[in-house]
Amino acid sequence: MTDDPKPGADGETLPPESDEGEGGEEPPRPLPVAVRLFLIPFMIVAACAVVVLIYRLLSTGEQSAADYLAEIRSGGGHRRWQAAYELSRVLGREGAPRDPRLAPEMTRLFLDSAGRDPLVRRYLALSLGRIGAREAAPALIEALDDSDAETRVYAAWALGALGDSSAVKPLAARASDADPGMRKVVAYALGALGANSSRPELRAMLEDPVHDVRWNAAVALARLGDDSGRTILAQMIDRVYLRSVPEMTAEQQDEVVLNGVRGIDLLGAAGFEAELLALAERDPSPRVRVAADEARRRRKSAGA
């Protein structure tokens, strides 16, 4: 499972190490860019985390995005990917300034790192998505064929974040990718792009053998106003069903239920009144109770 390229369920599940709480968008607003549990499927290995911690301890003061970009440009060895990682974190913080003037240089560095610096490339893909660098779309589309599997996933997430329609066909072509992590992010990205032309691929993904892929596809279709994933959304808010899914933590279950409620809300909640009432009154998660209650209120105010 997965949001960040830890991009699991919130909103960025967000891509790796996001301060935004990866994983979600608030109903009926657009779903979170990544949901920690299943939207984006990559985790930073423990060894890398230790190196980054040491790097931070040795650093003095807070650096800006431009500072980290300069380090990526001129640094050597581990310093380049560490700076790229920090850049993605800085840009992932809520309210962080995202200077579009940095996009051309970031894109150039992303292209230059091809085939030789996968860690730098992954984190630059995240950063490009976070600043909405649409000029990077061609480079990110090309990266969907990168030799590094995680770079392909990060690039797919970034394309969804950019909202550039040129990415719809290249992403849809990877809806049946052999890598389940890629399929998860492709489902998220296609939903984020909001292209009705991707409905056939998303509907097919409702039959995927991987839970996370089916969940992402159902939510993505709901964002398109398509209720083909109603059965899957019903499973997402069923605590008994979720407890049968292997290796899911309580927090991950909460995120799946929350995103299921959001998907149902996007569809107008018709036919889910009883389930939403039960969640609003008895679910163990305060966030789920609030989301379910708000979905019920919107359903009522719409005159249903």
pLDDT tens digit sequence for 149-177? 999 999 999 999 999 999 999 999 999 99
Predicted TM-score of the model (pTM): 0.80
Q: Work out the pLDDT band at 86, boundaries 50, 70, 90.
A: very high
Decide if 285 is inside a domain.
Answer: no
Decide if 143 is inside a domain.
Answer: yes
Contact 18, 3 (CB under 8 A): yes
> How far, in Å, CA of 184 to CA of 156, rounded?
10
For residue 98, give Cα distances in angstroms to 103, 132, 146: 9, 9, 26
Domain that holds residue 219: 9-230
pLDDT at 26: 26
Q: What is the pLDDT of residues 94-106, one digit of tens each?
A: 787 778 889 999 9
Decide if 287 is inside a domain.
Answer: no
Contact 178, 201 (CB under 8 A): no
pLDDT at 194: 94
**What CATH number does the domain containing 191 carry?**
1.25.10.10
> How far, in Å, CA of 283 to CA of 257, rounded?
10
Decide if 146 is inside a domain.
Answer: yes
Q: What is the pLDDT of residues 185-232, one digit of tens each?
A: 999 999 999 999 999 999 999 999 999 999 999 999 999 999 999 999
Contact 91, 130 (CB under 8 A): yes
Decide if 298 is inside a domain.
Answer: no
Q: Work out the pLDDT band at 140, boundaries 50, 70, 90.
A: very high
Decide if 276 is inside a domain.
Answer: no
Burial of 257-287, coded b for 16+ CB within 10 Å and e otherwise, reads: bbbbbbbbbbbbbeebeebbeebbeebebee
Decide if 268 is inside a domain.
Answer: no
Contact 133, 103 (CB under 8 A): yes
Mean of all residue pLDDT scores within the chain: 83
- Listed residue (7, 15, 37, 22) closest to 257, CA to CA: 37
Strand partners for 36: 9
> How far, in Å, CA of 186 to CA of 99, rounded?
27
Counted domains in the chain: 1
Decide if 288 is inside a domain.
Answer: no
